[in-house]
Amino acid sequence: MRALVGVMLFSVAAAAAAGEAYGDATVRAKPAADSFTLGYSAGFLNNPAVALQLKETMALAKKEGLKTLSPTNANSDPAKQITDIRNLISAGAQGLITIVADSDAIIPALNYAAQKKVPVVSIDIGPNGGKFYMLVKSDNVYMGEQACLAMGKAVGGSGKVLSLLGDQATINGRDRTNGFDACMKKNFPKIEVIKKPTYWKPEVATSAAQTILSATPDLKGMYLQSDAVMLSGVQNVLKAAKRLTPVGQPKHVALVTIDGTSVALKGIRAGTVDAAISQPIDLYIKYGVKYITDAVAGKAYRPGKTTHNSTIVRVKGGLADLLPSPTVTKANVDNAALWGNKVKG
């Protein structure tokens, strides 16, 4: 992964020399920063994808010559993340990258950072307000919609489907739920959706899958809002019930997931996973470092199309770069551009 991101990343100086623009960007009088002190605040690390983002973001920041403070982990405690951010700023952080534990609770910490003139870039899971420079993510409502369409097709438009929810305290969890639910209501009224919370916790997802599968022998599908968190446990549950069978087999339970880890792609090749909506985790890392560097350098952005096939939009508190998230099936699972084919997820 480190080598991959190194190849993908260009230096800010090189980008400026090439005249590269993202959205409608302008550069203020402040010169580009060659080095600054970066702080990293993770809301939790029990998600393998989030842990990977921390590891590789720090590696990339060091490769780019940035000074880095020891990253913090709030262990899903919003109050601790607020304290972590204050402590990172007190320790000398001149720019912050965050993955948010609670999208609403984080707002005071972001406003505090703004008061201290410390820019913040959120990646993957972002805030629902406050002041921040950029949120780098995929359109999670869109991903929920695409998961719904894939699920509707997989189960033939009717039957019972289990929706394993992410943490509804995060924007990502809410958006993936709302996108899926609205699409189901509109397009597949004959599908009964059974919803169970997981809080992004593998053991909770596994337990919920076991309970619902045992109580619902005619269950036709499961929607996993994070295959990085949930898929391994769900596969074990299905295997124990002798229902981890390929598409087309009588006992097959359709699996549609979000993330697109290598485990999910392996399942698609085997036929046990029907589809995965791929999050570009490698690009979260790449552009997270780029945007925080731009923030410290004084570069300003406005909404618009980017040169990396995304769109910058206004959201509460700042801007968001919405990166593309393709639906992966057997037809395109071997595409070398998919992040799950580049790293072990």
Query: Among all chains, which residue has been given the structure tokens 């302008």?
Result: 26
What tokens does 194 get? 């059974």
The overall average pLDDT reported for the chain is 90
Q: Note the pLDDT of residue 35.
A: 81
The residue among 206, 250, 268, 197 whose CA lies nearest residue 231 is: 206
Question: Which CATH entry fits the domain spanning 140-278: 3.30.1960.10, 1.20.140.10, 3.40.50.2300, 2.40.110.10?
Answer: 3.40.50.2300
Question: Tens digits of per-residue pLDDT, 55-74?
Answer: 999 999 999 999 999 999 99
37 pLDDT more than 50:
yes
Q: Which residue has the higher pLDDT, 46 or 131?
A: 131
SS3 at position 304: strand
The pLDDT assigned to 322 comes to 95
Q: How confident is the model at residue 9 (pLDDT cuts 50, 70, 90)?
A: very low
Q: What residue spans define the domains of the chain?
A: 2-132+280-324, 140-278
Evaluate if residue 15 carries a pLDDT over 80.
no
Q: What is the pLDDT of residue 186?
A: 98
Angle, helices 48-63 vs 281-297, to 10°: value is 40
Strands 275-278 and 254-259, bridge-based pairing: parallel
Domain 2-132+280-324 CATH class label? alpha beta
Question: In angstroms, rounded to a whole number, what is the distance separating the alpha carbons of residues 130 and 107?
Answer: 5
How much of the chain exceeds pLDDT 90, in percent? 84
User: What is the structure's pLDDT at 33?
Assistant: 54
pLDDT at 24 over 60: no
For position 344, what pLDDT does the model report? 59
The two tokens of residue 306 are: 């980017």
Residue-wise pLDDT for 105-151, tens only, equals 999 999 999 999 999 999 999 999 999 999 999 999 999 999 999 99
pLDDT band at 89 (very low <50, low <70, confident <90, very high): very high
Q: According to the model, what pLDDT value does residue 28 have?
A: 39
Task: Identify which has the larger pLDDT, 18 or 199.
Answer: 199
Lowest mean pLDDT among 23-27, 94-98, 277-281, 292-296: 23-27
**Residue 264, burial from CB neighbour count under 10 angstroms (0-12, 13-18, 19+):** buried
pLDDT, greater one: 243 or 20: 243
Mean pLDDT along residues 239-247:
97
Report the Cα–Cα distance between both ends of the chain, in Å, rounded.
10
Reported as a pLDDT band with limits 50, 70 and 90, residue 248 is: very high
Hey, which residues does 275 pair with through a beta bridge?
256
Whether the model clears a pTM of 0.85, i.e. scores above it, the answer is no
Average pLDDT over every residue of 71-96: 98
Give the whole-angstrom CA distance, residue 122 versus residue 156.
Answer: 38
